[in-house]
Amino acid sequence: MAIDMTDRAMTSDITPEYAFRVPGPGARIWRLSWLPEHRLTREQARAGMELDELLSDPEVVYDAVAHALAADLARRLGVLVEHAVIMLAVRTADRLDPDSAARREPVLSGPSTHLPAVSGARSQQRWM
Protein backbone atom coordinates (compact mmCIF):
# COMPACT_ATOMS: atom_id res chain seq x y z
CA MET A 1 0.00 0.00 0.00
CA ALA A 2 1.28 3.41 -0.92
CA ILE A 3 -0.40 6.78 -0.85
CA ASP A 4 1.13 9.37 -3.16
CA MET A 5 0.76 12.81 -1.59
CA THR A 6 1.30 16.29 -2.99
CA ASP A 7 0.24 19.61 -1.53
CA ARG A 8 -2.99 19.38 -3.58
CA ALA A 9 -3.94 15.71 -3.88
CA MET A 10 -3.56 12.19 -2.49
CA THR A 11 -3.90 9.05 -4.57
CA SER A 12 -3.58 5.35 -3.88
CA ASP A 13 -1.81 2.67 -5.85
CA ILE A 14 -4.50 0.10 -4.95
CA THR A 15 -7.82 1.98 -4.99
CA PRO A 16 -9.42 4.46 -7.39
CA GLU A 17 -10.43 6.83 -4.58
CA TYR A 18 -8.52 10.04 -3.93
CA ALA A 19 -8.34 13.14 -1.74
CA PHE A 20 -7.99 16.68 -2.98
CA ARG A 21 -7.46 20.11 -1.52
CA VAL A 22 -10.24 22.61 -2.13
CA PRO A 23 -8.85 25.78 -3.68
CA GLY A 24 -9.47 29.05 -1.93
CA PRO A 25 -8.22 31.43 0.70
CA GLY A 26 -8.04 30.71 4.41
CA ALA A 27 -7.86 27.30 6.00
CA ARG A 28 -6.84 24.45 3.76
CA ILE A 29 -9.83 22.20 3.32
CA TRP A 30 -9.52 18.69 1.97
CA ARG A 31 -12.19 16.38 0.58
CA LEU A 32 -12.30 12.65 -0.09
CA SER A 33 -13.79 11.38 -3.34
CA TRP A 34 -15.81 8.84 -1.36
CA LEU A 35 -16.88 11.28 1.37
CA PRO A 36 -17.21 14.56 -0.56
CA GLU A 37 -19.54 16.42 1.80
CA HIS A 38 -17.03 16.33 4.66
CA ARG A 39 -14.62 19.22 5.14
CA LEU A 40 -11.36 17.67 6.30
CA THR A 41 -7.88 18.57 7.42
CA ARG A 42 -4.89 17.12 5.59
CA GLU A 43 -4.44 14.60 8.42
CA GLN A 44 -8.08 13.52 8.18
CA ALA A 45 -7.79 13.15 4.40
CA ARG A 46 -4.72 10.95 4.91
CA ALA A 47 -6.66 8.87 7.47
CA GLY A 48 -9.49 8.51 4.93
CA MET A 49 -7.08 7.28 2.27
CA GLU A 50 -5.53 4.81 4.72
CA LEU A 51 -9.00 3.61 5.74
CA ASP A 52 -9.98 3.08 2.10
CA GLU A 53 -6.84 1.03 1.45
CA LEU A 54 -7.36 -1.02 4.61
CA LEU A 55 -11.00 -1.76 3.77
CA SER A 56 -9.96 -2.72 0.24
CA ASP A 57 -7.68 -5.49 1.50
CA PRO A 58 -9.57 -8.82 1.60
CA GLU A 59 -6.72 -10.41 3.59
CA VAL A 60 -7.62 -8.45 6.75
CA VAL A 61 -11.36 -9.17 6.91
CA TYR A 62 -10.93 -11.28 10.07
CA ASP A 63 -7.87 -9.48 11.47
CA ALA A 64 -8.65 -7.93 14.88
CA VAL A 65 -5.69 -5.54 14.69
CA ALA A 66 -6.87 -4.28 11.30
CA HIS A 67 -10.37 -3.80 12.73
CA ALA A 68 -9.02 -1.69 15.58
CA LEU A 69 -6.96 0.38 13.14
CA ALA A 70 -9.98 0.83 10.84
CA ALA A 71 -12.10 1.97 13.79
CA ASP A 72 -9.45 4.51 14.78
CA LEU A 73 -9.10 5.84 11.22
CA ALA A 74 -12.89 6.11 10.89
CA ARG A 75 -13.11 7.90 14.24
CA ARG A 76 -10.61 10.48 12.97
CA LEU A 77 -13.01 11.14 10.08
CA GLY A 78 -16.06 11.31 12.35
CA VAL A 79 -17.74 8.24 10.81
CA LEU A 80 -18.27 4.62 11.77
CA VAL A 81 -16.41 1.87 9.94
CA GLU A 82 -19.78 0.57 8.72
CA HIS A 83 -20.55 3.97 7.19
CA ALA A 84 -17.19 4.00 5.41
CA VAL A 85 -17.81 0.48 4.06
CA ILE A 86 -21.20 1.55 2.71
CA MET A 87 -19.88 4.76 1.15
CA LEU A 88 -17.03 2.90 -0.55
CA ALA A 89 -19.41 0.18 -1.76
CA VAL A 90 -21.74 2.84 -3.22
CA ARG A 91 -18.78 4.41 -5.03
CA THR A 92 -17.84 1.03 -6.46
CA ALA A 93 -21.42 0.41 -7.59
CA ASP A 94 -21.57 3.90 -9.14
CA ARG A 95 -18.38 3.20 -11.10
CA LEU A 96 -19.87 -0.04 -12.39
CA ASP A 97 -23.22 1.59 -13.28
CA PRO A 98 -23.01 5.41 -13.43
CA ASP A 99 -26.77 5.65 -14.13
CA SER A 100 -27.51 4.22 -10.67
CA ALA A 101 -25.95 7.14 -8.78
CA ALA A 102 -28.54 8.78 -6.56
CA ARG A 103 -28.47 12.15 -4.86
CA ARG A 104 -27.09 11.99 -1.36
CA GLU A 105 -27.79 14.42 1.41
CA PRO A 106 -24.81 16.21 2.97
CA VAL A 107 -23.67 15.15 6.41
CA LEU A 108 -21.85 16.94 9.17
CA SER A 109 -18.21 16.06 9.61
CA GLY A 110 -15.43 16.31 12.10
CA PRO A 111 -13.71 14.19 14.65
CA SER A 112 -15.98 12.48 17.09
CA THR A 113 -15.01 11.74 20.66
CA HIS A 114 -18.08 9.66 21.46
CA LEU A 115 -17.63 6.86 18.91
CA PRO A 116 -16.48 3.52 20.31
CA ALA A 117 -13.10 2.13 19.25
CA VAL A 118 -14.86 -0.81 17.61
CA SER A 119 -18.54 -0.53 16.91
CA GLY A 120 -20.93 -3.45 17.02
CA ALA A 121 -20.33 -7.12 17.57
CA ARG A 122 -20.42 -7.85 13.85
CA SER A 123 -17.59 -5.40 13.12
CA GLN A 124 -15.30 -7.37 15.40
CA GLN A 125 -15.67 -10.38 13.09
CA ARG A 126 -15.99 -8.80 9.65
CA TRP A 127 -16.65 -5.46 8.01
CA MET A 128 -20.30 -6.09 7.10
3-state secondary structure the chain: CCEEECCCEEEECCCCCEEEEECCCCCCEEEECCEEEEEECHHHHHHHHHHHHHHCCHHHCCCHHHHHHHHHHHHHHCCCHHHHHHHHHHHHHHHHCHHHCCCCCCCCCCCCCCCCCCCCCHHHCCCC
**What is the pLDDT at residue 1?**
62
The pLDDT tens digits for 38-62 are 999 999 999 999 999 999 999 999 9
Domain residue ranges of the chain, discontinuous segments joined by +: 3-96
User: Percentage of residues in the chain with pLDDT exceeding 70?
Assistant: 75
